[in-house]
């Protein structure tokens, strides 16, 4: 009977240890400068600003095709 008590005590201690220890997995990475997104001036789709194309007036477009289409109108 004492073996089972010892086993139960060990099991409970292990469970408490697993619950209280700091997680070793990184759940989220904090970025210092989150990238902003903006809407395309032609279609309205939101795209990260680093991927956008701009015309001479500073209008932002999601791709070169929309930039050309806006310039022909």
Provide the pLDDT for residue 59. 94
Q: CA–CA separation, 42 vs 62, rounded Å?
A: 8
Rounded mean pLDDT, 5-11:
92
Q: CA–CA separation, 19 vs 68, rounded Å?
A: 57
The CA-CA-CA angle for residues 7, 10, 12, to 5°, reads 110
For the segment 25-67, what is each residue's pLDDT rounded down to a tens digit? 655 666 677 889 999 999 999 999 999 999 999 999 999 999 9
Q: How many helices (H) does the chain have, and how many strands (E)?
A: 2, 4
pTM listed for this prediction: 0.54
Rounded mean pLDDT, 13-27:
79
Q: CA–CA separation, 17 vs 20, rounded Å?
A: 5
Q: CA–CA separation, 32 vs 13, rounded Å?
A: 39
């Amino acid at each position: 009977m004492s073996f089972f008590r010892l086993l139960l005590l060990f099991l409970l201690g292990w469970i408490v240890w697993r619950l209280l220890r700091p997680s070793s997995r990184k759940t989220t990475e904090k970025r210092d400068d989150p990238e902003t997104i903006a809407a395309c001036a032609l279609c309205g789709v939101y795209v990260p600003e680093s991927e956008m194309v701009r015309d001479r007036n500073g209008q932002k477009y999601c791709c070169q095709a929309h930039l050309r289409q806006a310039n022909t109108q």
